[in-house]
Structure formats: C-alpha cells, structure tokens
Amino acid sequence: MSTIRLKSGAVTWQRIASPVGPLLLASGEDGLRLIEFEAPWHPVAMDAHWREGDDAVLQAARAQLDEYFAGSRREFSLPLAPHGTPFQLQCWRTLALIPFGATWSYAQMARHIGQPSATRAVGAANGRNPLPIVLPCHRVIGADGSLTGFGGGLPTKRYLLELEGALAPATDDLFG
C-alpha cells in the first residue's frame, strides 16, 4: 500500500459518518481535495499543514453527500481540487461525464479519452481517484459487467450502484 502526498498548503479535514462507513473529507484553498474511505488502498499522508476543522467547502460537501445518500442528489456542484498527473486528471474529468445510474467499462473510458489501448492505465488512474463518489469511479465496471476493483471495497461499489439504480438490489431469495 502506497501513500499519496497532496500538494503543500493548508488543508482542513474532518471525518463524517456515511452509509458506507466513515469518510475523511479534506479541502484546501482551491476546493475539495479528498474523500477517503476508512481503509483506503492509497491513504493520504497528513502533515503539519493539515488541521482538523470545518470550512465552507467541507460544509457543502457534507450536505451534498448527505443528499446523495438520501437519494435526493444526482450531481455534485462543489469546487474540486484533485491533484494528480495530467493523465490522471483527464481520467478523473471523464468520470464526471458518466451519468447517474449508468456504468461505463474501462475500455469505454479509454476510448472516450482517445487512448483505446490505455484500459489498464485508466484503471490505475481510477484507483488513485482522490474524490470517489463525487468523481464516480464506482460507475466504471469490467467489460463483462462485473464489479471490479474499488478503493472503498466491492460491497461499497455495489451499494453505490444500487443506490443509483445502475444495479438491481441483491437478494438472498433463491427465487428472487
């Protein structure tokens, strides 16, 4: 497991409860920088520039996430400030184009960015997405329709896709 370092500068953070477990939210002067699940694949390293607190961006993020989980929000309107390579940023911008309730394959994403042979690179970039849920990497699935890697875990990915209506709710009923 590798850690990610955000660009320097003051970062305000807080933990919030959600239906998918605790989330760490962080913002900088440029906008929302991070939404991190409880056990991330690539945790962000906090340093001396990080302080626990609240600000307008975190308040808006918290409110919009609450609305999303309540089923009353389909799109987010937050100032976003993800930090990554130019290729990662291109992939993350593309995630924002996947409509609520829809899914794309990694191959579709690669074709959309004009690099049809970059399926694995797209997957790697999505794996480093610092703003899951808001930049909906959970909407990217395997070419065969299977749920594949997700930093919040496959049960969380399934939950989010069911919440959005992209997957039928799982049933334990043998005849369901």
DSSP 7: P
Whole-number Å distance between alpha carbons of 24 and 49: 16
91 is known as an active-site residue: no
Catalytic residue among 20, 80, 137, 161: 137
Exposed e or buried b per residue across 2-36, where buried means at least 16 C-beta atoms within 10 angstroms of its C-beta: eebebeeeebbbbeeebebeebbbbbbeeebbbbb
Whole-number Å distance between alpha carbons of 89 and 117: 18
Q: Which two tokens stand for residue 14?
A: 């807080």
Whole-number Å distance between alpha carbons of 82 and 161: 23
Whole-number Å distance between alpha carbons of 71 and 10: 33
Give the burial class of 136: count Cβ atoms within 10 A of its Cβ; 0-12 exposed, 13-18 middle, 19 or more buried: buried
Supply the residues annotated as catalytic: 137
